């Protein structure tokens, strides 16, 4: 284990031009410790080193200086504090103790994992879903016999990104290509590149189709979790994938059929503090990177239901080749603070992206979503719709940009954000923007914020429905069109269930 | 003294937005009877309907409302609905994201009239057939994008499913074509029973011809100024409000067409 001490500068105070930030006064220097490192091939180690250097050299995000962070207080991002003081390592003391005894069985882990996905009345068997539990030992899959056979016959492969040592060359090439999608100059993408640890590479070779959806449950039990989902879809393939981000308390999730075998920690690849501590919020830095080949179709879901003590930072970047299609549902219900970027690059002619999101911010949550529809190819189409309900003293921030490059004639793009404000203290900020560089395009944006309409409420109560039930129906109804158009059924079912739980918590705190 | 059955309104004064709209309304609709309420535009008919239903925007400054032997003057709308009061809205409100089926199930559940899923669907299908509503409307969002006539029919559908003890129909006949009017009138007639009172607010004689009201009341400037038998509605149909209210009261747009 090599812990490298690196000096970094964290400019604070008055706005400074980016170039001079590094020359700030030495008194502002912070010491960041590189956490215990993940094993892997040389090329990856070197890559991580490079990005770590870049990360420590870059100024930390600043709410006064960075447009992206203007409405979210970057100074409270726990990432730097965790890296400064905490000597992060790859396993918690409990996990270490456990691995000295019998190591948890991966199949048990999968069973525990599948219990976490609330498929509800549709048990996993009938959900048309395969849960992929990513463990240190590899991937273990859980689903109906029929679905598992379909997966085997399809040619689709799932590689756990924990076992990088024995990776074959094709996988290495794809991982490299996919990682290169997120090489922007932000400090957090550099941090992710340096630290990502755990997750899966899913590959659909050209022409393959898989009808059951693949459900990746990310156990984010570490103090700092940096999960990766890498998706590679060959020409004319099709795939449905869902990322579910949640935290499982240490030891809290014993499987019903085996009380001593807990999967916790084996499913998660976070970084842990030597001693459990609660002074600093936990932090997740997640990324999903996808390349969707010519004529291929990706149906994608992402569900964030982290505890309020967590900061959730995520990057999603999906690149579409010619005639490729993306249909996605983003569901954001948890975390104390969320800062997420969802970018789609419509590179190939005729590619199409349809992205819908639901978010519900309650109590003192602060959810900040940013999206980019980047049109590079001709004749491309994109839709991004985010609906947010905001209650109590929570805040929703949304900024969405459609960028049309000169090469992207005949672009058809729309970005919209609808907010439902449920309490006087709830706030929603919404900044949809267009940057059009071509002259033959059709693009638009819309943003609204409203309250529950008194007449609507009276109409419903006049049929005998009590007011809390009316509110529930209206909030649920607000999201209904998005759930009804979800890219695949299990994501709609699970999102609806999580949403119902969230509404219940809002109504009965 | 309030009767133990039906609706009794006494000396009801109501203000909204700081303005008095109803200035002492007295009205009784006993169970089993059909009463019509007519009156020029803006005379306060919908205000009365909303107040009877318990709309929070209308403040009762004096007077009382009794229903089924209870003082309901201060009850909330959902409580009144659970006692069996139903308002068919002049302007039904769209509820995006809530389907007709889910809404009706929620309403019936909250009124203690829940049916097992199969029975419910059977009853709903039968009522929709009677009202000639396309079965596809079951899964449409309530009133969302409905035409004027479709909304009115959907109000009657809700009434048929909820089987109220007092139905207040606020211009349910307006905006209906001749066939739809007959369908709606038939719907109301079929539901009629000795325990149910009906208050029909209308500008037109046609629906009254079919519903045969026991009494007709004329509301003017927030007061009931005349009550009589069905004959009264015919007079208004023929000669307008002028013979009853005097020349200055009958504005041209108030006259039935
Ligand atoms: N919520 C409100 N705020 C302000 N004014 C109101 C409100 N509701 C009713 N009014 C006023 O009260 C008066 C009576 O309105 P109401 O809707 O009860 O009339 P109506 O008899 O139903 O008329 P119509 O035949 O046109 O339906 C009108 O002058 C109207 O503008
Ligand atoms: Mg009216």
Q: How far is B58 from chain A (nearest CA, A)?
A: 12
In a domain, A239, yes or no: yes
Output the pLDDT for position A398. Answer: 96
- At A118, the pLDDT band (50, 70, 90 cuts) reads low
Whether the per-residue pLDDT at A5 is higher than 60: the answer is: no
User: Is the confidence at residue A286, as pLDDT, over 70?
Assistant: yes
Segment holding B80, helix H or strand E: helix B77-83
Considering only CA atoms, which of A132, A139, A108 is closest in space to residue A244?
A: A132
Two tokens, residue A183: 């090489």
Statement: residue A44 has pLDDT above 70: yes
Which structural domain range is residue A16 located in?
Answer: 1-27
Residue A360 main-chain phi, psi, to 5 deg: -135, 115
Contact A460 B103 (CB under 8 A): yes
Note whether B110 contacts A481, CB cutoff 8 Å.
no
Residue A286 near residue A227, CB atoms below 8 Å:
yes
- Among candidate residues A488, A499, A202, A128, the one with its CA nearest the CA of residue A327: A488
What integer pLDDT is reported at residue A14 of this predicted model? 35
Show the tokens assigned to B195. 């325990």
- Indicate the pairing of strand A412-421 with strand A381-390: parallel
Cα radius of gyration (chain B): 18
Q: Report the pLDDT value the prediction gives residue B100, as an integer from 0 to 100.
A: 96
Residue with tokens 């990766």: A228
Would residue A393 be called left, alpha or beta, if left means φ above 0 and alpha means ψ between -120 and 50 degrees?
Answer: alpha
Listed as ranges, residues in chain B with pLDDT below 70 are 1-4, 247-257
In a domain, A437, yes or no: no
How is A290-316 classified by DSSP, letter by letter?
A: EEE-TT-EEEEEEEE---TTEEEEEEE
**Nearest protein CA to atom 31 of ligand 1, as residue:** B42
Cα of B197 vs its chain's centroid, Å:
11
In this structure, what DSSP letter does residue A130 have? E
Q: Is the pLDDT of residue A220 over 90?
A: no
For chain A, state the CA radius of gyration.
Answer: 22
- Which residue, by CA, sits nearest to atom 6 of ligand 1? B16
Find all residues with CB under 8 Å of B91, minimum gap 6, and list them. Answer: none
Cα angle for residues A447, A451, A455 (degrees, 5° grid):
125
Best of B51, B78, B104 to substitute, by most chain A Cβ atoms within 10 angstroms, is B78
How many other β-carbons are positioned within 10 Å of the β-carbon of residue A509? Answer: 9
Sort A23 into a burial class: Cβ within 10 Å, 0-12 / 13-18 / 19+: exposed
Q: Which residue of A has its CA nearest to B168?
A: A462
User: Residue range A400-414: average pLDDT?
Assistant: 97
Coil, helix or strand at residue A371: strand
Domains of chain B: 3-95+166-254 (3.40.50.300)
pLDDT band at A116 (very low <50, low <70, confident <90, very high): low
In DSSP terms, which residues pair with A332 in a beta bridge? Answer: A304, A359
Query: Inter-chain contact A480–B98, Cβ cutoff 8 Å?
Result: yes
Q: Are residues A3 and A122 in the same domain?
A: no
Contact (Cβ atoms closer than 8 angstroms) between residue A116 and residue A246: yes
* Alpha carbons B96 and A21: distance in angstroms, whole number: 50
B162 touches chain A (CB under 8 A): yes
CB < 8 Å from A in window 120-149 of B: 141
Regarding whether A227 and A154 lie in a shared domain, the answer is: yes
Residue among A461, A467, A477 minimizing CB distance to B97: A477
Q: What are phi and psi of A256, to 5 degrees?
A: -60, -35
For ligand 2, the distance from its centroid to the CA atom of residue B173, given in whole angstroms, is: 12
Write out the two tokens for A330: 């983003």
Judge: B93–A464 Cβ closer than 8 Å, yes or no: no
State how far residue B83 is from chain A, nearest Cα, in angstroms. 9
Question: What are the distances in angstroms from CA A493 to CA A490, A501, A503, B6, B103?
Answer: 5, 13, 15, 46, 20
Q: Tokens 């456990």 correspond to what residue? A: A98
CA distance B186 to B179: 11
Q: What is the pLDDT of residue B245?
A: 79
Q: Give me chain B's average pLDDT, please.
A: 90
The residue in chain B having the minimum alpha-carbon distance to the alpha carbon of residue A478 is B97
Residue A96 pLDDT grade (very low, low, confident, very high; cuts 50, 70, 90): low
Output the average pLDDT for chain A. 84
Judgement on whether residues A215 and A318 belong to the same structural domain of the protein: yes
Cα B120–Cα B123–Cα B127 angle in degrees, nearest 5? 135
Q: What percentage of chain A exceeds 70 in pLDDT?
A: 82
Is A1 a residue whose pLDDT tops 50?
no
Nearest to A239 by CA among A295, A323, A287: A295
- Residue A444 in tokens: 């638009």
Q: How far apart are CA A316 and CA A169, in angstroms?
A: 25
Cβ within 8 Å, pair A464-B78 = yes
In a shared domain, residues A11 and A156:
no
pLDDT of residue A27: 35
The count of other CB atoms within 10 Å of the CB of residue A342 is 23
Distance A401 CA to ligand 1 centre (A): 45
Say yes or no for a CB contact (<8 Å) between B96 and A479: no
Task: Please give the biggest Cα pair distance in chain A.
Answer: 69
Q: Is the pLDDT of residue A12 over 50?
A: no
Instruction: Give the count of domains, chain A.
Output: 2
Ligand nearest to the CA of B47: 1
Note whether A253 and A94 are within 8 A (CB).
no
Identify whether A245 is part of a domain: yes
Which residues of chain B lie closer than 8 angstroms to A458, CB-CB?
50, 53, 55-57, 77, 93
Q: Please give the model's pTM, rounded to 2 decimal places.
A: 0.87
Ligand 1 atom at minimal distance to the Cα of residue B254 = 25
pLDDT attached to residue A412: 98
**Which pLDDT tens digit goes with each residue over B46-96?**
999 999 999 999 999 999 999 999 999 999 999 999 999 999 999 999 999
8 Å CB contact between B102 and B183: no
| Nearest by CB: B106 against A456, A465, A478 | A465
Of A461, A477, A480, the CB nearest to B77: A461
Confidence check: pLDDT of A457 > 60: yes
Task: Assess contact for A251 and A264: CB atoms under 8 A.
Answer: yes
Give the integer Cα–Cα distance in Å for A293 and A110.
Answer: 30
Q: Predicted confidence band at A113 (pLDDT cuts at 50, 70, 90)?
A: low
Mean pLDDT calculated for residue range A131-145:
77
Cα torsion A205, A209, A213, A217 to 10°: value is -10
Confidence tier at A218 by pLDDT (50, 70, 90): confident
Residue at A77 is within a domain: no
Interface contact flag, B78 A473, Cβ < 8 Å: no
Question: Helix count (H) and strand count (E) of chain B?
Answer: 9, 10
Judgement on whether residues A22 and A117 belong to the same structural domain of the protein? no
Mean pLDDT, residues A88-112 taken together: 58
Q: What residues line ligand 1, using a CB cutoff of 6 Å? A: B 16-17, 21, 39, 41-47, 57, 90
A103 and A202 in one domain? Answer: yes
Q: Write out pLDDT tens, residues A163-196.
A: 676 778 888 899 999 999 999 878 999 999 999 9
Tell me, yes or no, whether A388 lies in a domain: no
Q: What is the pLDDT of residue A499?
A: 93
CA–CA dist B118, A266 (Å, integer): 46
Residues 6 or more apart whose Cβ sits within 8 Å of residue A166: none
CA B104 to chain centre: 18
Q: Is residue A284 part of a domain?
A: yes
CB pairs under 8 A between A and B: 85
Q: Do A13 and A124 fall within a single domain?
A: no
Ligand 2 centroid – CA B2 distance (Å) = 26
**Interface predicted TM-score (ipTM) of this complex, two decimals:** 0.94
Report whether A360 contacts A334 (CB < 8 A): no
Q: Is residue A274 part of a domain?
A: yes
**Cα separation, B26 vs B11, whole angstroms:** 5
| Closest ligand to the CA of B169 | 2
- Confidence at residue A127, expressed as pLDDT on a 0 to 100 scale: 73
Task: Give B90 Cα–ligand 2 centroid separation in angstroms.
Answer: 6
Q: What is the largest CA-CA distance in chain B?
A: 58
A497: helix, strand or coil: helix
Q: Does A104 map to a domain?
A: yes
Instruction: Report pLDDT digits (tens) over A257-273.
Output: 333 333 333 445 788 88
CA of B195 to the centre of ligand 2 (A): 26
Q: Are A295 and A207 in the same domain?
A: yes
- Tokens at A167, concatenated: 């990776």
Contact: A458, B55; criterion CB under 8 Å:
yes
Is A101 found in the same domain as A14?
Answer: no
Cα–Cα dist B93/A398, whole Å: 30
B98/A479 touch (CB, cutoff 8 Å), yes or no: no
In a shared domain, residues A107 and A1: no
Q: Which ligand is nearest to the CA of B48?
A: 1
Residue A254: predicted pLDDT: 34
């Amino acid at each position: 284990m090599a812990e490298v001490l690196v000096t970094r500068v964290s400019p604070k105070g008055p706005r400074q031009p980016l170039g001079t930030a590094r020359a700030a006064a030495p008194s502002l220097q912070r010491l960041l410790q590189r956490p215990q490192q993940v094993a892997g091939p040389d090329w990856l180690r070197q890559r991580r080193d490079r990005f770590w250097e870049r990360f420590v050299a870059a100024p930390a995000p600043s709410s006064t200086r960075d447009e992206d962070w203007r409405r979210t207080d970057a100074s409270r991002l726990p990432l730097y504090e965790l890296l400064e003081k905490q000597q992060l390592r790859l396993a918690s003391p409990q996990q270490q103790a456990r691995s000295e005894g019998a190591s948890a069985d991966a199949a048990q882990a999968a069973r525990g994992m599948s219990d976490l996905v609330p498929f509800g009345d549709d048990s996993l068997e009938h959900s048309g879903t395969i849960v992929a539990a990513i463990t240190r030992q590899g991937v273990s899959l859980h689903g109906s016999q029929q679905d598992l056979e379909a997966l085997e016959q399809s040619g689709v492969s799932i590689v756990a990104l924990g076992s990088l040592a024995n990776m074959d060359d094709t996988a290495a090439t794809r991982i490299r290509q996919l990682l290169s999608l997120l090489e922007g100059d932000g400090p957090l993408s550099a941090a992710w590149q340096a630290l990502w640890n755990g997750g899966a590479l899913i590959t659909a070779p050209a022409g393959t189709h898989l009808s059951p959806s693949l459900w990746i449950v990310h156990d984010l039990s570490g103090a700092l979790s940096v999960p990766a989902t890498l998706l590679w879809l060959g020409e004319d393939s099709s795939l449905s994938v869902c990322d579910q981000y949640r935290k499982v308390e240490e030891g809290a999730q014993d499987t019903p059929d085996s009380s001593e075998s807990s999967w916790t920690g084996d499913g998660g690849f976070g970084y842990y503090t030597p001693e459990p501590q609660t002074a600093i919020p936990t932090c997740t830095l997640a990324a999903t990177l996808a390349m969707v080949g010519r004529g291929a179709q990706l149906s994608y879901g992402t569900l964030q239901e982290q505890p309020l003590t967590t900061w959730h930072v995520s990057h999603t970047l999906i690149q579409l080749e010619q005639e490729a299609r993306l249909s996605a549902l983003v569901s954001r219900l948890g975390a104390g603070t969320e800062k997420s970027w969802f970018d789609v690059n419509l590179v190939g002619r005729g590619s199409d992206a349809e992205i819908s999101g639901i978010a519900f911010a309650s109590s003192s949550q602060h959810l900040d979503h940013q999206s980019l529809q980047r049109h590079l190819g001709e004749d491309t189409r994109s839709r991004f719709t985010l609906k947010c309900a905001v209650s109590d003293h929570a805040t929703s921030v949304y900024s969405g940009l459609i960028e049309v490059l000169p090469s992207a004639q005949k672009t058809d793009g729309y970005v919209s954000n609808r907010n439902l404000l449920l309490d006087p203290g709830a706030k929603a900020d919404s900044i949809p923007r267009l940057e059009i560089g071509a002259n033959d395009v059709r693009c638009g944006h819309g943003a609204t914020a409203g309250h529950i309409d008194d007449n609507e409420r009276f109409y419903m109560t006049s049929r005998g429905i009590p007011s809390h039930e009316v509110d529930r129906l209206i909030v649920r109804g607000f999201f209904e069109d998005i759930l009804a158009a979800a890219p695949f059924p299990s994501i709609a079912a699970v999102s609806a269930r999580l949403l119902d739980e969230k509404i219940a918590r809002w109504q009965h705190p | 003294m309030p009767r133990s059955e039906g609706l009794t309104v006494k000396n009801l004064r109501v203000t909204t937005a700081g303005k008095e709209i109803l200035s002492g309304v007295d009205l009784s609709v006993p169970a089993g009877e059909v009463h019509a309420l007519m009156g020029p535009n803006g005379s306060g008919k919908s205000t009365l309907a909303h107040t009877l239903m318990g709309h929070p925007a209308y403040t009762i400054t004096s007077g009382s409302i009794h229903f089924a032997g209870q003082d309901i003057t201060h009850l909330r709308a959902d409580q009144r609905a659970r006692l069996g009061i139903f308002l068919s809205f002049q302007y039904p409100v769209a509820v995006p994201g809530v389907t007709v089926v889910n809404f009706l199930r929620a309403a019936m559940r909250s009124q203690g009239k829940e049916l097992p899923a199969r029975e419910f669907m059977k009853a709903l299908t039968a009522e929709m057939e009677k009202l000639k509503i396309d079965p596809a409307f079951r899964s449409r969002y309530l009133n969302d994008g409905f035409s004027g006539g479709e909304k009115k029919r959907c109000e009657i559908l809700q009434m048929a499913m909820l089987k109220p003890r007092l139905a207040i129909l606020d211009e349910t006949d307006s905006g209906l074509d001749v066939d739809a009017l007959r369908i709606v009138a038939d719907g109301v007639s079929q539901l009629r029973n000795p325990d149910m009172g009906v208050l029909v607010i209308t500008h037109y004689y046609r629906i009254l011809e079919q519903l045969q009201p026991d009494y007709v009341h004329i509301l003017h400037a927030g007061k009931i100024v005349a009550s009589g038998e069905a004959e009264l509605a015919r007079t208004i149909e023929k000669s307008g409000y002028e013979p009853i209210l005097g020349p200055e009261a009958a504005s041209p747009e108030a006259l039935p067409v």
